[in-house]
Structure 1
Amino acid sequence: MRRDTFLKSLAALAATGGLPLAAQAAGVPMKMMIPANPGGGWDTTGRALGKALQDAGAASSVQYENKGGAAGALGLAQFVNASKGDPHALLVMGAVMLGGIISGRPPVSLTQATPIARLISEYNVYVVHAASPLKTMKDVIDQLKKDPGSVKWGGGSRGATEHVAAAMIARDVGVDAAKINYVPFRGGGEATAAILGGNVTIGGSGFSEFQPYLDSGKMRALAVTAPTRIKGLNAPTLKELGINVEIGNWRGIYAPPGISAEQRKALTALVVQATKSKSWAESLEKNGWTPALLAGPEFDAFVDREFATLRAIMVKSGMI
């Protein structure tokens, strides 16, 4: 985005009462709701975007709030109820939240908030503790077939992509998906602790969350849900292992309900500008994220399709 276009976006936000004219050049204080506990993918994404907003001059500061639970539904409810009409507030969300809404049917829906943009996509990696007797994904599958309940799958909230993937894996190898023993956690930090503590058999999450423990030898990667191998990770895809499962995890940004069309347009422009910053590029590289920017009506339509696709997968896998 050219600088003159960027400043016009700021001016549009000011014209609708969303931004003081004197703050156009320096940006304004922003608030970022992260509907998960610290240490997970949403937390990392939200803080990376906040830094990028500041680097791009769109925000003078960013105030973060973590509110984990129910696949993001608790944070979503607080955001919708407390930030209505605030053009300086953002909510981190993604595929995990859609799955949680489908399975949990919370009283507050994502449709009550305002879509802004999809930011990134990330595939899950399944890992075990380094001392686990299960050395390969085949070992996990063999145990799953013998006794489905004995394999504890650890990951995000119920309906998260790692939960959906576990159900899809079970279904593909001939195990009743309804019998899988899935242990949900409120954030990536809790899931990581459970894996390192031996409290789950196998855990799933984004590569960026597990990378330090894989590099240090505390965890061992067994497989990824990507269509091709992930750079920097020595682990096969599920399809390489004869398991016909491929599923990605995307993350995006929403604004509160009650903002005007002009405020939404201006806020979208600021987020897009942030994704062109140096710090955002560094975050993509550091975390192994795939850029997947999508905004405007295209993002609205994408979310609608994702709801339909994910619901169909969850029905077929016996999750709902």
Structure 2
Amino acid sequence: MKRTTIFALIGATLITLGSQGAMAFEQSRSVTCIAPSGPGGGWDFTCRSVGRLMAELGLVRGSMQTTNMTGAGGGVAFAHVISKRAEDNALIVAASTATTTRLAQGQFAGMDHDMVQWVGALGADYGVIAVAKDSPYQNLNELMAALQQDPSAVKFAGGSAAGGWDHLKVLMAAKEAEVEGLSRITYLAFAGGAEAITQVVGGHIGAFTGDISEAMGFIESGDLRVLAVLSEERLPAPLDRFPTAREQNIDTVSPNWRGFYVPAGVSEEAYQWWNGSLDKIYASDEWKTIMEQNGLVPFHKSGPAFTDYVRDQVAEIQAISKEVGLIK
């Protein structure tokens, strides 16, 4: 009897384990990526590029559809996910530093960064501070020295709204350079980076703050001179000729990362599937080509490391925004 019971238990255990293996997570045939903008924008590019590779690399059996959902700088999509798609295992949403900036500044009313799960980042466009070719400022320290004497001495132009990421880059660098009176630094917002740069190279505004990809045409023509790239270390060639702010003893890093979040209520298996899929895409030669063709540089964080990064970035943006009076 005892022997029979033991064999029965072993058999039952093997059946249970086999059932658990058979029930391992399997993603839906078709998945959806929400781009919180209209067609042609950065979030749309992120969704469509990743969606194409999902199919090409065999990560999904069917396809990944892109749904454009505009409004409130990503706030409409964020609210939609929280209220209507909170447990959708087959949904992912494109995000960037613009997303964390708006969350940090309370622009998504009643919502915060912990109401979704952050999956990973697949590249970044790093910030730069640049001047016209005939500017008297030869490096970032000279520019910051002028601001130390008078925070309104140099006007900055950028493509984001006042209080947006382009504005914050200058404020963070100035804070690290111990400039006092950060709220007196003049920032002028334009419809895009190209328009802002045109004002700088035309001699109307003292300096440009934006992303290196939008400045490259003006840099290559010799009209714009980079004082500092706001990255951890020099960017890959041919961008390695530009010094970082850190090299100039101003410890400021400002990547405009491109990544994703998923609903808070997805299963752990689904979260791990998304995490692993994005890791595979980032490691692929196809994604490296896409990054190079679109001005992105290597930047990869995933899972808990990316979640911690987002939380730290939100905290940093909140602190600088409060200091200059953008939020209370």
- Aligned identity (percent) is 22
CA distance in 1, matches of 2:22, 2:161: 37
How many residues are matched? Answer: 295
Equivalent runs, 1:193-272 vs 2, <5 Å: 193-196=195-198, 201-217=206-222, 219-231=224-236, 232-233=238-239, 234-272=241-279
Say whether the 8 Å CA contact 1:126–1:205 is kept in structure 2: yes
Structure 2 unmatched runs, 5+: 1-20
Rg larger in structure: 2
Q: Name 2:104's counterpart in structure 1.
A: 102
Q: Does 1:12 pair with 2:25?
A: yes
CA distance in 2, matches of 1:197, 1:293: 35
Post-superposition CA distance 1:160-199 (Å, at most 9, x none): 44333211233325341111223456xxx72333323558
Say whether the 8 Å CA contact 2:144–2:179 is kept in structure 1: no
Structure 1 unmatched runs, 5+: 1-7
Cα displacement (A) at 1:294: 1.6
Q: Name 1:5's counterpart in structure 2.
A: none
Say whether the 8 Å CA contact 1:35–1:74 is kept in structure 2: no
Residue type matched to 1:162 in 2? D
Equivalent runs, 1:97-246 vs 2, <5 Å: 97-107=99-109, 108-128=111-131, 133=135, 136-137=138-139, 140-141=143-144, 144=147, 145-146=149-150, 148=152, 151-157=155-161, 160-171=164-175, 172-184=177-189, 190-196=192-198, 201-217=206-222, 219-231=224-236, 232-233=238-239, 234-246=241-253
Query: How has the CA–CA distance of structure 1 residues 152 and 291 changed in structure 2, closer, same or farther, with 3 Å as cutoff?
Result: closer
Secondary structure of the corresponding residue to residue 86 of structure 1: coil
TM-score normalised over the length of structure 2: 0.71
Query: How has the CA–CA distance of structure 1 residues 168 and 58 changed in structure 2, closer, same or farther, with 3 Å as cutoff?
Result: same
Match among 71, 86, 89 for residue 88 of structure 2:
86
CA distance in 2, matches of 1:143, 1:276: 43
Q: Name 2:13's counterpart in structure 1.
A: none
CA distance in 2, matches of 1:180, 1:196: 20
Structure number with higher relative contact order (C-alpha < 8 Å, ≥ 6 residues apart): 1
TM-score normalised over the length of structure 1: 0.72
Root-mean-square deviation (CA, aligned residues, Å) is 3.7
Secondary structure of the corresponding residue to residue 210 of structure 1: helix
Secondary structure of the corresponding residue to residue 25 of structure 2: helix
Cα displacement (A) at 1:151: 0.4
Post-superposition CA distance 1:31-76 (Å, at most 9, x none): 3324588454x45444432332232223524325263654x43443
Q: Does 1:283 pair with 2:286?
A: no
Cα displacement (A) at 1:280: 0.9
Secondary structure of the corresponding residue to residue 292 of structure 1: strand
CA distance in 2, matches of 1:66, 1:190: 21
